[in-house]
Amino acid sequence: MKVRDNLFAYIWTDMRANNCNTFLIRKEKAVCLIDPGHKPFLPQLFQSMRKDGVSPDEVSSVIVTHGHPDHLEGALDLRKKGALVGIHPQEEAFLKEIGPHFARMFGWSMPELSFDFHLQEGELEIGGERFLVLETPGHSPGSISLFWEEPRVLFAGDVVFAQGVGRTDFPGGDGGLLKESIRRCRKLQPAMLMPGHGEPLKTPKEVDRNFELIEKMYFSYL
């Protein structure tokens, strides 16, 4: 689904299986996927991409907002096909420390971990477009969010959703850190919110109202 020029959203709506939303940024010859989801659902993702005129073979880079299996597994498969995969270094270290145990919690076999670049706080360029990488821990220790500066689009991973927040009861979760991460995201005044699960919010008014609701409904419990 095309959201705006050079941005496509593939929203997971099947309640029978857990998977994350995937976002595609296409600019000039650069095609970047954010959180490709579980490996078994890649064919479905690729079919949707082709309908939007994007071949899976064009994917040159993959950004993983955090290392939970529903965000990471497909990225590792795409790496085998030649895409460069990036993750925050703290998340990589965390996965190597507790990854096998965490994978068993989800009934998932932990694959060999290998990444091509690290995502750290600061600027990132994709196809000539400027993005800001934000360290947003709380749901996991090395979670990142990505902010596309000119259209003010926030890719939040599992930090904040429409009327919801990421869980903090998984290993490495921290409610206090999650609140600070959400506050950081709100200060950017995003015009659109592209969350890791659920429906995107596509207007500044919707996004700000959602942040206000989150603070009122969830912050006292985190």
Domains and CATH numbers, the chain: 2-221 (3.60.15.10)
DSSP per-residue string spanning 70-102: HHHHHHHHHHHTT-EEEE-HHHHHHHHHHHHHH
Q: Are the C-beta atoms of 194 and 156 separated by less than 8 Å?
A: yes
Given this model, what pLDDT does residue 114 score? 87
- Closest by CA position to 14, among listed 52, 40, 33, 34: 40
Given this model, what pLDDT does residue 98 score? 78
Band of residue 102 on the pLDDT scale cut at 50, 70, 90: confident
Band of residue 221 on the pLDDT scale cut at 50, 70, 90: very high
Given this model, what pLDDT does residue 28 score? 81
Distance, in Å, from the CA atom of 90 to the CA atom of 219, rounded to the nearest integer, reads: 25
Q: Is the pLDDT of residue 109 over 90?
A: no
Given this model, what pLDDT does residue 24 score? 98
Share of the chain above pLDDT 90, in %: 83
Given this model, what pLDDT does residue 58 score? 95
pLDDT in tens, 155-206: 999 999 999 999 999 889 999 999 999 999 999 999 999 999 999 999 999 9
Given this model, what pLDDT does residue 152 score? 98
pLDDT in tens, 26-77: 988 899 999 999 999 999 999 999 999 999 999 999 999 999 989 999 998 9
State residue 102 phi and psi, 5-degree precision: -65, -40
Q: Which residue has the higher pLDDT, 111 or 132?
A: 132
Q: Which residue has the higher pLDDT, 110 or 4?
A: 4
Question: Across residues 113-133, what is the average pLDDT?
Answer: 94
For the chain, what is the mean pLDDT?
A: 94
Q: Are the C-beta atoms of 69 and 37 separated by less than 8 Å?
A: no
Question: Across residues 90-95, what is the average pLDDT?
Answer: 93
Share of the chain above pLDDT 70, in %: 99
